[in-house]
């Protein structure tokens, strides 16, 4: 079987979406190939092995331990400090990314080939048969990691001659600098696979030829467990060897067989720390209104959501699923909810796998928020996450309508998910093709 270098392995992050999609992508790869090397692009200097380093060894994830003893605002300060001490911090990644342009790609690729840049990555490319890049949500705006992934894709193909693909991703190239780099890189690659229609339209503008396709996000391969767990298990299952005291007690009183609505945050909240209290007040009112329909379960799938929603769950004494939640447990809870109300791409997908309708908020790219409702066959326009209070009536009315429609709507959603799931393996077709030769 071909040896694969997987770039963008996010399976050990305290983020539900990262873990959910990468777990399933790795599983598909391993059905037809061997993952020889895996790279989390937040740790570019790390030694490369078939699995990325454990969570406990990742500098920024050590801050999760602080959540056991200290309030979220101290955790945020610690996170910023630890990033600055990392071998290659986010600030340094962004600085490097400013030098990535169409004209600089050949020289940078040559530098990697000659081991002057990223010798660990060069070694992995040299020893692998295929380079597969998990794009996820990195190829949008002027994100440094997006340009880096494009550089690595270009290097793997042009400098090392390896079959190379970027898969499982949103391609939002409305940022001119990112678009120029993508326009140089996309045409040379062996395969491009995007995960919603808006990305397909944009990608076609810079890669009109074949080997550009849609495949549903790998996270669609999850599904709720066939049998309900006992109530007490919803307080025991988690990621890693230990769970924070908050998570351990937060699901007490939750009835998995009962009716409930899940709420979540949005990727639009990243970098908006100055508005967290305002957003918390909006969610406070939202929980009150939705609670008139069914009990509310609070979910936090990423760090900004945790900082906004965890104190609220404590205050209102609501069941709460936090960052360390095991993905299968998150799927079981989201997939059996009467509705999921939030702006997170992957939690929305996990909800849909059980037939749960999604009342969508805006995200860091409207390609994702609009794309998700379209994939599900839902007619709702995403609510602006920045103005939840101004749209409370719409959110509540839409949620009530979905809950009232009941099993008929859930059946339609599950039928649609089955169609989408059938496309997921296009993400690894390049590996499949080389496995069969």
Q: How many CB atoms lie under 10 A from the CB of residue 183?
A: 15
According to the model, what pLDDT value does residue 83 have?
36
What is the CATH topology of the domain spanning 3-214+422-435? Rossmann fold (3.40.50)
Question: What radius of gyration do the chain's Cα atoms show?
Answer: 21
Domain positions in the chain are 3-214+422-435, 222-405
pTM of this structure = 0.88
Query: What is the Cα–Cα distance from 390 to 388, expressed in whole angstroms?
Result: 5
Query: What is the Cα–Cα distance from 319 to 324, expressed in whole angstroms?
Result: 15
Distances (CA, A) of 288 to 102, 186, 282, 312: 51, 47, 10, 12
According to the model, what pLDDT value does residue 91 have?
62
Cβ proximity of 265 and 308 under 8 Å: yes
Instruction: Return the SS3 of 341.
Output: strand
Distances (CA, A) of 20 to 222, 248, 309, 405: 8, 21, 21, 29
- What are the residues facing 37 on neighbouring strands? 5
CATH code of the domain occupying 222-405 = 3.40.50.2000
Same fold, 3-214+422-435 and 222-405: yes
According to the model, what pLDDT value does residue 404 have?
97
Segment-wise mean pLDDT, segments of 10 residues, the chain, 437 residues: 95 90 97 94 75 40 35 41 43 72 93 90 96 95 87 98 97 94 96 96 88 96 84 55 46 86 93 89 97 96 92 94 91 97 96 97 89 92 91 96 97 98 98 91
> Could you tell me the sign of the dihedral formed by the alpha carbons of 87, 90, 96, 100, in that order?
positive
Chain centroid, CA 92 distance in Å: 23
Query: What is the Cα–Cα distance from 247 to 249, expressed in whole angstroms?
Result: 6
Query: What is the Cα–Cα distance from 154 to 158, expressed in whole angstroms?
Result: 6
Nearest partner of 290 among 311, 257, 322, 312, judged by Cα: 312
Query: What is the Cα–Cα distance from 257 to 383, expressed in whole angstroms?
Result: 29
The full DSSP string for 104-149 is THHHHHHHHHTTSS-HHHHHHHHH-SEEEEEEET-SBTT-HHHHHH
Q: How many CB atoms lie under 10 A from the CB of residue 358?
A: 31
According to the model, what pLDDT value does residue 77 have?
41
């Amino acid at each position: 079987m071909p040896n694969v270098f997987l770039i963008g392995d996010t399976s050990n992050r305290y983020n539900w979406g990262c873990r959910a999609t990468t777990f399933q992508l790795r599983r598909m790869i391993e059905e037809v190939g061997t993952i020889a090397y895996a790279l989390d692009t937040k740790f570019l200097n790390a030694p490369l092995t078939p699995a990325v380093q454990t969570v406990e060894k990742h500098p920024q994830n050590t801050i999760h331990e602080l959540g056991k003893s200290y309030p979220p605002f101290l955790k945020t300060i610690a996170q910023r400090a630890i990033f600055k001490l990392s071998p290659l911090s986010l600030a340094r990644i962004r600085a490097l990314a400013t030098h990535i342009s169409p004209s600089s790609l050949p020289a940078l690729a040559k530098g990697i080939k000659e081991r002057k840049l990223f010798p660990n990555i060069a070694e992995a490319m040299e020893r692998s048969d295929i380079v597969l890049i998990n794009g996820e949500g990195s190829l949008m705006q002027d994100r440094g990691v997006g340009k880096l992934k494009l550089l690595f894709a270009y290097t793997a193909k042009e400098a090392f001659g390896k079959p190379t693909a970027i898969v499982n991703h949103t391609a939002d190239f409305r940022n001119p600098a990112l678009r120029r780099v993508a326009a140089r890189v996309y045409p040379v690659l062996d395969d491009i696979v995007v995960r919603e229609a808006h990305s397909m339209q944009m990608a076609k503008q810079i890669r009109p030829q074949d080997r550009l396709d849609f495949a549903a996000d790998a996270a669609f391969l999850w599904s709720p467990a066939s049998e309900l767990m006992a109530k007490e298990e919803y307080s025991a299952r988690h990621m890693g060897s230990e769970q924070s005291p908050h998570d351990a007690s937060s699901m007490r009183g939750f009835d998995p067989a009962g009716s409930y609505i899940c709420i979540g945050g949005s990727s639009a909240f990243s970098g908006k720390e100055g508005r967290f209290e305002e957003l918390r007040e909006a969610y406070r009112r939202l929980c009150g209104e939705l609670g008139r329909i069914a009990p509310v379960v609070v979910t936090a799938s990423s760090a900004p959501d945790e900082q906004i929603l965890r104190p609220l769950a404590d205050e209102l004494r609501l069941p709460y699923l936090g960052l360390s939640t095991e993905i299968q447990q998150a799927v079981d809870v989201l997939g059996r909810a009467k509705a999921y109300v939030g702006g997170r791409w992957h939690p929305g997908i996990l909800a849909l796998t059980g037939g749960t309708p999604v009342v969508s908020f805006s995200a860091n790219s409207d390609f994702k928020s609009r794309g998700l409702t379209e994939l599900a066959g839902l007619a709702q326009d995403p609510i602006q996450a920045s103005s939840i209070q101004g749209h409370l009536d719409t959110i509540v009315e839409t949620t009530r309508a979905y809950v009232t429609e009941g099993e008929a709507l859930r059946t339609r959603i599950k039928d649609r998910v089955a169609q989408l799931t059938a496309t997921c393996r296009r993400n690894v077709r390049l590996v499949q093709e080389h496995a069969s030769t």
